[in-house]
Structure 1
Amino acid sequence: MPGLKDVKNKIEGVSKTSQITKAMNMVASAKLRGAQERMETFRPYAKKFAEAMEDLSGSMSGNQPLMEVRDVQAVELIVVTSDRGLCGSFNAHIVSRAQQLIDQLEAEGKEVSLITVGNKAAQAFKRSGKIRASYKDIMGTFQMFNAREISGSVTLNFLSGEVDEVRVVYAHFFSMAKQRPTEETLLPIKPPEQGEGGKSGTAVEYIYEPSPTEIMEALLPLHLNVQVYHAMIEVAAGEHAARMAAMDNATNACGDIIKDLTQLYNKARQAAITGDLMDIVGGAEALKG
C-alpha cells in the first residue's frame, strides 16, 4: 500500500489539474458565445448569397472559367482544423475524414494536394508530402481577408490547370454536442440543380443591370470567399464546444480520481494508526512481562 505522503501529493496534484480544467471550461464557454453568435449571424448571409447565385446561374449565358467541368485528374483539399488541442477528438475526426478522402481519390488514380488551415491539420499531414500551402496560427483571430487569401490561392491553381477540382473538409456545427466532419466541393462551381421540386412558376423574374454574366464574373470569387470563411467559422465554433465538453469530462474524471485517492488515503491512514496501536500494545505487554 502506498505511503500517506505519496497519496496526499497525488490528491493535491489532481486537485490542481481539476482547477485548470474548470478554468479552461469557463474560457471555452465565453469564447463559444462569441463564435456561435458570429456563426449564426453569417449563416443567413451565406444562404442568401447561394440563392442569388442560383438565380443568376439560370439567367447567364456563356461559360465561366470557374464553372468549367473537367475530367478530374488532380484534386486539391482544403483541410480546416483548429490551432490548439485539448478539445477531445474534434480535430481527429476532421483529419480522419480527410485521410479517407485522400485514400479514396488515390485509389481512383487521382493526384491529391493539400492546403491546411490550422496547426492540427499541418501537424497531421506534414509527413505526407502533399501540403502545397499551410496557414497556421490564424484560427483564433481569422477575418475575411484570410479566407480571401486561401480562396485566391486555390482559384489561381484551378485556373492554371494544376488541379481540376477543389474540395474543403471541415466540421459542421450542429449543436453543442454534435460537430460532424463535412466535405464540400468548391471548384468547379456548379449551379444548384433544379428538379421538379425546384422553383415554381410563380417565382419572381429579375432584370439585371449589367448582364447576369458580368455580375456572375464579380460574384464567383466572392462566393468562394464566403464558402471558405463559412467553413472556418463552423470549425471555430465547433472547437470551443468540443473543448467545453472535453474539459467538463476531465473535471468530472478528476473528481472521481480524487474520490478514489481519498478512500485509499483513509485506508492507508487507518493501516498506519492500526500499526502504531499494535506497536504500543506490544510494547506495553513487553513491559508487563
Structure 2
Amino acid sequence: MASLKEVRSRIQSVSSTQQITKAMKMVAAAKLRRAQDNIIRMRPYAQRLTSILANLTRTTTDEVVSEYGQVREVRRVLIIAITSDRGLAGAFNANIFKGVSALIADRYANLPVNAISIMAIGKKAHDYYGRRSYARVGDYTHVFAQLSFNTVRLAAEEAMSGFVAGTYDEVVMVYNEFKNVATQFVQAEQLLPLVPTAEPAGTPSATAPDNSIDYIFEPSKEEIIQTLIPQSLKIQLYKAVLESNASEHGARMTAMDKATDNAGELLKSLKLTYNRTRQAAITTEILEIVGGAEALAASR
C-alpha cells in the first residue's frame, strides 16, 4: 500500500491537472463560439458561390474554366492535409492522418510515394509528414496563429499554380467538417480539377433545366469568370480551414471536459485510498500503544 505522503502528492498533482483541464475547456469554449460564428457566416456564401461556379462550368467553354477544369491522367497528386497547431484535442489530428492514408489507399494506391505531395496546413500535419517519405509543399504552420482569408489565399494560390503548370493532376483537401461540439467528420474534397456537380435538391437551379440559367454579366463575361473561378477555389480552401478551426476547438473542449471528469473520478479514488491508509496507520498506532501499555502492566 502506498504511503500517505505518496497518496497526498498524487492528489495534489491530479488537482493541479484538473484545474488546467478546466481552464483549457473554458478557453476552447470561448474560441469555439467565435470559430462557429465564422463558419456559419461563411457556409451560405461558399455554397452559393460553388453553385454559381458549377453552373458556369456546365454552360461555358472559357479558357479560365478549361485550365482549372482540365481532367488529366492522374500521375501526380497534391493532398492538402488540414490539422491544428496544438494537440490535446482527442483524435482530431489522428483522424486526419487516417483519412489521408485511407484516401491514398483507395484512390492513389497505384501511384509511387514520390508522386504524392502533401501540403500541410497546421503544425501537427507539418511535423507528422516531415517524418514520412512524402514530399512536403510550402510551410503553412502559421495559418492558425492569425487566421484570415489572406493567409489561406497563399496556400490556395500555390496549389492552383501547381495544377495549371501540370505539377499536379489532382488536388484534394482532407479536413474535419464541423457538425457540433462533440461531432466532426473527416472530409476528402476534390479542389482541382473543377468538376461540374448537380446542385442539392430544393435549390432553385436544381429544379430548373441547365439552359434556363441565364446570368447577366457586368462588366463582361470574360472578366467575371477570370475573377470568379480563382476566387471560388480560394474560398473553398478557406471554408475548409474554418471548418477545421471550429472542429479543433470543439474537439478540444470535449477532450478537456472528459479529462476534467476523469480527474474528478481519480481524485475520489485517491481520497478514498488516502483515508483508508490514514485510518490503517491510526489503527496500527493505537494497537501499538495498547500493546505497549499491556506489556508494561504485565511486567509490574
Indicate the TM-score class for this superposition, using the shorter chain for normalisation: over 0.9
1:128 aligned to 2:128?
no
* Preserved CA contact (<8 Å) 1:56 1:212: no
Q: CA deviation at 1:127?
A: 1.8
Q: Relative to 1, partners in 2 of residues 1:32 and 1:194: Cα closer, same or farther, differing over 3 Å? A: closer
- For 1:226, the equivalent position in structure 2 comes to 235
TM-score by length of 2: 0.91
Q: Relative to 1, partners in 2 of residues 1:199 and 1:212: Cα closer, same or farther, differing over 3 Å? A: farther
1:283 aligned to 2:287?
no
Q: CA deviation at 1:234?
A: 0.3
User: How far apart in 1 are the matches of 2:256 and 2:74?
Assistant: 43
* Higher mean C-alpha displacement, 133-142 vs 197-206: 197-206
* Preserved CA contact (<8 Å) 1:61 1:213: no
- For 1:13, the equivalent position in structure 2 comes to 13
* Preserved CA contact (<8 Å) 1:60 1:212: no
User: How far apart in 2 are the matches of 1:231 and 1:33?
Assistant: 17
The runs of 4+ residues in structure 1 deviating greater than 6 Å are: 194-197
- For 1:33, the equivalent position in structure 2 comes to 33
- For 2:208, the equivalent position in structure 1 comes to 200
Amino acid at match of 1:119: K
User: How far apart in 2 are the matches of 1:195 and 1:232?
Assistant: 23
Q: CA deviation at 1:112?
A: 0.8
1:72 aligned to 2:74?
yes
Q: CA deviation at 1:177?
A: 1.2
Kindly provide the CA deviation profile for residues 154-207 of structure 1, in whole angstroms up to 9, marking residues without a partner as x. Answer: 111111111111010000011111101101111111222479993425955233
SS at match of 2:138: strand
* Preserved CA contact (<8 Å) 1:59 1:212: no
- For 1:260, the equivalent position in structure 2 comes to 269
* Preserved CA contact (<8 Å) 1:25 1:243: yes
- For 1:251, the equivalent position in structure 2 comes to 260
Q: Relative to 1, partners in 2 of residues 1:115 and 1:196: Cα closer, same or farther, differing over 3 Å? A: closer
**Which of 64, 81, 84 is equivalent to 1:82?**
84
- For 2:152, the equivalent position in structure 1 comes to 147
User: How far apart in 2 are the matches of 1:218 and 1:158?
Assistant: 17
- For 1:188, the equivalent position in structure 2 comes to 193
Amino acid at match of 1:179: Q
Q: Relative to 1, partners in 2 of residues 1:61 and 1:235: Cα closer, same or farther, differing over 3 Å? A: same
Q: Relative to 1, partners in 2 of residues 1:6 and 1:288: Cα closer, same or farther, differing over 3 Å? A: same
Q: Relative to 1, partners in 2 of residues 1:137 and 1:209: Cα closer, same or farther, differing over 3 Å? A: closer
1:117 aligned to 2:126?
no
- How many residue pairs get matched? 289
* Preserved CA contact (<8 Å) 2:143 2:152: no
User: How far apart in 2 are the matches of 1:5 and 1:95?
Assistant: 43
- For 1:171, the equivalent position in structure 2 comes to 176
Amino acid at match of 1:190: V
* Higher mean C-alpha displacement, 227-236 vs 43-52: 43-52
Q: CA deviation at 1:211?
A: 4.5
- For 2:59, the equivalent position in structure 1 comes to 59
User: How far apart in 2 are the matches of 1:176 and 1:194?
Assistant: 28
Kindly provide the CA deviation profile for residues 124-164 of structure 1, in whole angstroms up to 9, marking residues without a partner as x. Answer: 11122321223113213211111210011011111111111
SS at match of 2:137: strand
* Higher mean C-alpha displacement, 201-210 vs 39-48: 201-210
SS at match of 2:36: helix
Q: Relative to 1, partners in 2 of residues 1:210 and 1:48: Cα closer, same or farther, differing over 3 Å? A: same
Q: CA deviation at 1:213?
A: 4.2
Q: Relative to 1, partners in 2 of residues 1:208 and 1:106: Cα closer, same or farther, differing over 3 Å? A: closer
Q: CA deviation at 1:44?
A: 0.9
Q: CA deviation at 1:220?
A: 1.1
Q: Structure 2: any 5+ residue segments left out of the alignment?
A: none
* Preserved CA contact (<8 Å) 1:105 1:112: no
RMSD value over aligned CA atoms?
Answer: 2.0
* Preserved CA contact (<8 Å) 2:54 2:195: no
Amino acid at match of 1:175: N
SS at match of 2:89: coil
User: How far apart in 2 are the matches of 1:93 and 1:232?
Assistant: 15
Q: Quick one: percent identity of the two aligned structures? A: 39
